[in-house]
Amino acid sequence: MPQLLSSSNLLLSSRPLAVGVIPDPATLDLWASYSLEQKTAACDVIELRLDTLQLSAEKVRAALVGNQTPVLLTARHPAEGGQGTVEAAGRIALLEPLLDLAALVDIELRSAMEMRPLVQKAQGMGVRVMGSFHDFQTTPGEEVLRGAINFAQPAGLDAVKIATFLNNSTDLTRLIALTSEVHRLRLSCMGMGPLGRVSRLVLAKCGSLLNYGYLGESNAPGQWPAPRLKELLAEL
Ligand SMILES: O=C1C[C@@](O)(C(=O)O)C[C@@H](O)[C@@H]1O
């Protein structure tokens, strides 16, 4: 029940949230070793990267006994920075057994139709589903980004996330403009690369809801350590 409550509250948060990414078993162990105070200081949400964790659902579940921090489940498509299978069925098989632990699930917008059964099951359990778009090379033009954002609601999703590589300050300006607008669904937006860190602060201030940082090793260029990010977000 606490997860159900946090699930609906998360997308209504009036402050930007810090997400601590757990991409490997060592970071999962690290998280499990933290005290409640350390967890609270580290982040507001944990993201379990099931595609790179490569642990059985039982092992993940065992490591999260007593965990009270809202959980975001991700099984990333290889075309968007993930490891493992391109088949939706393979990613559904990673996500489905852990849905009861989740507050949120992240699926790629490109997979929204194939993942429909999982989306419906998650939403039926009170878990919100975020549709995501990643580009590790560049930041596409406004039309592409806007298209991604506008696709999410008719596709039955609850939130949108955009993560792109920033090659110059014009790319960042484009993300700032987009994030500052009012959208039908809550938007999380972040840059990667040398401008990644600065983007994650300014975009949070402009309305980006979920802002990712690392707990063990960084898994994307431009992340802050999650505890530092949480601290900085509170000071903005
Ligand atoms: O999509 C994202 C954002 C991210 O790539 C980042 O840039 O911090 C980190 C990933 O784990 C997460 O799924």
Does a structural domain hold residue 35?
yes
Whether residue 42 lies inside any domain: the answer is yes
| In a domain? residue 231 | no
Binding site membership of 77 for ligand 1 (Cβ less than 6 Å):
no
Q: Is residue 124 part of a domain?
A: yes
What stretches of the chain show up as alpha helix (H) in DSSP?
Answer: 2-10, 25-33, 36-42, 50-53, 57-63, 88-95, 116-124, 142-152, 169-180, 196-205, 226-235
For ligand 1, atom 5: residue with the closest CA: 220
Compute CA distances 6 → 74, 104, 161, 217, whole Å. 17, 9, 19, 27
Query: In 10 A of CB 138, how many CB atoms?
Result: 12
The one-digit pLDDT tens for each residue of the chain (236 residues) are 444 445 568 999 999 999 999 999 999 999 999 999 999 999 999 999 999 999 999 999 999 999 999 999 999 999 999 998 889 999 999 999 999 999 999 999 999 999 999 999 999 999 999 999 999 999 999 999 999 999 999 999 999 999 999 999 999 999 999 999 999 999 999 999 999 999 999 999 999 999 999 999 999 999 999 999 999 999 99
pLDDT at residue number 2: 42
**The domain that contains 193 carries what CATH number?**
3.20.20.70
Would you say the CB of residue 232 lies under 6 angstroms from ligand 1?
A: no
Does 232 reside within a domain?
no
ipTM greater than cut 0.90: yes
pLDDT value for 4: 42
* Count of structural domains, the chain: 1
Q: Using the 8-state DSSP alphabet, how is residue 178 labeled? A: H
Structural domain contains residue 224: no
Per-residue model confidence (pLDDT) at position 1: 40
| Predicted pLDDT of residue 6 | 58
Write out the residue range of the structural domain in which residue 133 sits. Answer: 2-217
Residue 105, domain member (yes or no): yes
Write the residue with the smallest CA distance to atom 6 of ligand 1. Answer: 220
Mutation pick for ligand 1 pocket among 47, 160, 201 (CB with most ligand atoms within 8 Å): 47
Give the atom of ligand 1 at the shortest distance from the alpha carbon of 106.
13
